[in-house]
Chain A
């Protein structure tokens, strides 16, 4: 066990009484409660945490927060492993196990030679150029790149052992960020009585106040944070959510939050709580107090381990009690660097400051008071070191900042802390649709014009002084509460902050000179995660990429899991400089959710496994299961697919079921068929306007097969409707189309014909239906009913009768989808199983065979009956199906006019035909493409495709339905179905393979 050589003896918010053991890259190390993985590594003197994406350069911890581009780790193992986590945000717990995820070929090995090679292989635009030419280039490079990229592994074991939850909440004011501005906003809004949610992504609220030595009311700022939290805790309507990242700002003030409920605990140690929770918040008003991200500076070899953001160095000292180095070089383009210099010096680090501005600012006095050397007008020429920076060359800059004005001097250092300025964290504001403006003084984008009900306060608004941030936060919280109808928060007491020196402007020096005095140019990194250099940006500019969105895609800058939080503005500044334009003229990139990566687990919540989608079963489901049925998913329904007997293959079972339906009697569960009751004096009129054929004159007691089209004339659905009474129809739909057809009827009824007195209701689940098919169907049914006259004269085909079947009130319809003598018996859903078992029992002596959807499909295909959605695809008219006779001449209906359009009258439209294979045993694959003849040079004209294809045991040969160009005129023609390896000769036939006159079903 090592002893944390870089841990300070005192100070910070870690608990030295609670040491925690953890494993990093196979090494056992120790940190303290309150550490992040990053701070614990630094306390152990470990800066090198991975290798870079393209060049495999050693990389260290750059930041202390969400913006981290380098320190990406693979956390834990097995089913709980998680990639792409930022070590700067992973809270340490006992037994934590983490690996660097990008360390090919190894973390420690120096691969300088490989770097050079890779560097030439992967210039800007590499991916695009490789995709384009040579044609097979990508195939060659892909394997190499995938292995080399090393962006983490998804868990290969499963299922995820953890539980995730979701919350849906409304609030008056959502405050994002619990730094000084956010706390002040929440206090003001909370005091007004508004329902407030304060969400903060860190382990504890306080934000920047946890990382500084500033005082409030003369006390350490953390004291005030504690008091503020106590005040908020006493407010009933305020909810504080720590460890909660607001990652999406959507329309109408809808925000999505990911709360890491137990991620900070050892895996599996809190089984009574979810791992993470997704909050979906609809907020009346939002206050964004999301702070700011510090910008790196772009100089030669600015990527070595030990080079980090100045604010991060300060955070490690003050919040985590880590002394990150012995000798530090602090590089400043902004006053923020001096606070870091002072804090480092005060824990014994030897510090030199290099300021790229010609004059040192007023705050440099604090540094000089600590004997820190301040070199104004200087920059970093380059750095030295392998797995850790060990020296840097500095030299005076010329007036423009584009070249050097003197010789370089080498400074030994094991830390370079840089502050190129601060970017307000405008991600959520931008996601909300807000417009940004350029602040030249601080060289950053700030929120300008909101489009939703949102306010921005503190550093996120470009208000960087503590006193001003507090005031702005309170004003924002109060204004938000007022806008939501509350008042009284304006007078909340704020603590007094120290008055600092007036800040000097930030110098927007986007890149230091690319060439050392008298030397060769070296890499200046802009995007650390994607290894994009200032030269790559220059190359893109030379190749004509002038839009920032194109620049991003071409160089991949900002396209990593960090979404360019530390790189976008620098890239923009460099591009603007090359184009001779101002930054705001070049534009800014669009920020999209999520702000930081979100787990699939938290998005899915409990909707996984059996709960992923509702399962609908019919009242007879238990019987099917007991009979060993295999099931098919039809929408959400579980339908029996076939009922294999022991030893039977699917083919055997389906053939047996098919033969039984044509030669004896067979039974199908048809309960899932969509059923809609259409009622009212104008019910017949509505159906007349919807269906291609007429329904108004259908007599009570009769049924009719109907076809409905969309207004463009294409078939939407089909099914049988029964007239139950003068003012009442029962409409049947395809199983998968039930909801769609009901919505279709409602749309026309409500929006186009509100004058019609008619109402539509789904009754699909109110009825259970057993469908008997086969020559013995009538005799079997006759044994189960005494009050329905089954004589064909009294109860003809396409009629329905009410009565009792097996003692149960029933409605019996003589309709047939199989082409056999067929009766569909419907009873109240609660009687479904009783009806079914009674039929099964009575049917034994007739050889009654249950059959599933597969047999149903075969039987209907033998008859050439279509299935809407299988033999049609939204491009097929009734005429294309050969059902022109169903198109009424003397009435209008939805889609009728379209059937007379030039396009729908074309003779070469794809039309429904049957196909016979020359080899009767060959069953064509559905979707098979049909061409005129085998062979030929591509492109070969496609004539159509196979829509349905089966083995027909009844006919002793295969059958297929197909949509073929000009098919109706091709009967008898020989065509070819082209398969990947061979072609199958077929003959076009009429789509009715069996009993074309329908004698069996009418008899």
Chain B
């Protein structure tokens, strides 16, 4: 079980959190300007990165806030935690 550092509450057990998949996928400003392929890219396609992965978590059983985590998908090590709207810290760019 992961130990996740909520930026608002501190380190808590994984079971208090919900997982939200890959972070920084921005919803297109005008979805109807996209063709099916481009919309499908936004909707379905994820990088499934091996290594440093920027992902969203929500502290469902705590402060209910969403935030971002950089997690190594091989070792499960958490490399960084940052708030929504903040730029990923340098650790999150490792392996890009």
Binding site for B on A (CB under 8 A): 250-254, 282, 433, 451, 711-712, 743, 746-747, 750-752, 754, 892, 896-898, 900-902
Contact = CB atoms under 8 A, between A and B. Distances in A.
23 contacts: A250-B1, A251-B1, A251-B2, A252-B2, A252-B3, A253-B3, A254-B1, A254-B3, A282-B13, A711-B27, A712-B43, A743-B58, A743-B60, A746-B66, A747-B58, A751-B66, A752-B27, A896-B31, A896-B32, A897-B39, A898-B43, A900-B32, A902-B36
A897 B31 contact: yes
A230 to B, nearest CB: 34
A746 B59 CA distance: 11
Interface string B21-36: 0000011001110101
A754 B85 contact: yes
Given A251-B76, A750-B66, A898-B43, A743 B18 contact: yes
Contacts of A711: 27, 43
A434 to B, nearest CB: 11
Contacts of B40: 901
B64 interface: yes
A750 B32 contact: no
A750 B76 contact: no
Contacts of B76: 251-252
A751 B86 CA distance: 11
Contacts of A254: 1, 3, 13
Residue of A250, A253, A897 ringed by the most chain B CB atoms within 10 A: A897
A711 to B, nearest CB: 6
Nearest to B28: A897
Residue of B20, B65, B66, B78 ringed by the most chain A CB atoms within 10 A: B66
Nearest to A712: B43
Interface residues on B, range: 20 to 34
A252 B12 CA distance: 11
Contacts of A253: 3
Nearest to A451: B75
A898 B14 CA distance: 33
Contacts of B32: 892, 896-897, 900
Contacts of B39: 897-898, 901
B84 interface: yes
B53 interface: no
B58 A754 contact: no
A743 B43 CA distance: 19
Given A746-B66, A754-B84, 8 more contacts: A251-B1, A743-B58, A750-B66, A751-B20, A751-B66, A892-B31, A898-B43, A901-B39
Contacts of A746: 58, 64, 66
Contacts of A252: 1-3, 76, 78
A901 to B, nearest CB: 5
Nearest to A755: B85
A631 to B, nearest CB: 27
Nearest to A746: B64
B84 A750 contact: yes
Contacts of A747: 20, 58, 66
Residue of B27, B40, B76, B84 ringed by the most chain A CB atoms within 10 A: B27
B32 to A, nearest CB: 6
Contacts of B64: 746
Contacts of A902: 36
B56 interface: yes
B37 to A, nearest CB: 10
A905 to B, nearest CB: 10
Nearest to A742: B64
Nearest to A711: B43
A751 B68 CA distance: 10
Contacts of A251: 1-2, 14, 76
Nearest to B68: A751
B34 A897 contact: yes
B64 to A, nearest CB: 6
A746 B32 CA distance: 24
A280 to B, nearest CB: 8
A252 B27 CA distance: 33
Interface in B57-75: 58, 60, 64-66, 75
A751 B22 CA distance: 12
A751 B1 CA distance: 25
Contacts of B58: 743, 746-747
Contacts of B20: 747, 751
Contacts of A898: 39, 43
Q: Which 5 A-B pairs have the closest CB atoms?
A: A897-B31, A252-B3, A750-B66, A251-B76, A254-B1
B40 to A, nearest CB: 8
B66 to A, nearest CB: 4
A716 to B, nearest CB: 15
A255 B69 CA distance: 23
Residue of A250, A746, A750 ringed by the most chain B CB atoms within 10 A: A750
A250 B78 CA distance: 14
Nearest to B64: A746
Contacts of B43: 711-712, 898
A931 B6 CA distance: 52
Contacts of A754: 84-85
A451 B77 CA distance: 9
A959 B32 CA distance: 40
A711 B31 CA distance: 11
B9 to A, nearest CB: 15
A712 B36 CA distance: 12
A561 to B, nearest CB: 25
A254 B15 CA distance: 12
A892 B30 CA distance: 8
Nearest to B20: A747
Residue of A751, A754, A898 ringed by the most chain B CB atoms within 10 A: A751
Contacts of B34: 897
B77 to A, nearest CB: 8
A282 B75 contact: no
A988 B57 CA distance: 46
A791 to B, nearest CB: 43
Contacts of B13: 254, 282
A433 B72 CA distance: 13
A754 B65 CA distance: 12
Contact of A751 (B2, B31, B56, B75): B56
Contacts of B26: 752
A140 B33 CA distance: 62
A251 B74 CA distance: 11
Contacts of A750: 65-66, 84
Residue of B18, B30, B43, B58 ringed by the most chain A CB atoms within 10 A: B43
A899 to B, nearest CB: 10
Contacts of B65: 750
Nearest to B78: A252
Contacts of A433: 75
A743 B75 CA distance: 29
A897 B39 CA distance: 8
Nearest to A751: B66
A751 B36 contact: no
A282 B3 contact: yes
B80 to A, nearest CB: 15
B19 to A, nearest CB: 12
A257 to B, nearest CB: 14
B53 to A, nearest CB: 15
A71 B58 CA distance: 49
Contact of B84 (A751, A896, A901): A751
A174 to B, nearest CB: 14
A433 B74 CA distance: 10
Residue of B1, B2, B18 ringed by the most chain A CB atoms within 10 A: B1
Nearest to B34: A897
A901 B2 contact: no
Contacts of B1: 250-252, 254
A251 B13 CA distance: 11
B22 to A, nearest CB: 12
A751 B58 CA distance: 10
Nearest to A903: B36
Contacts of A901: 36, 39-40
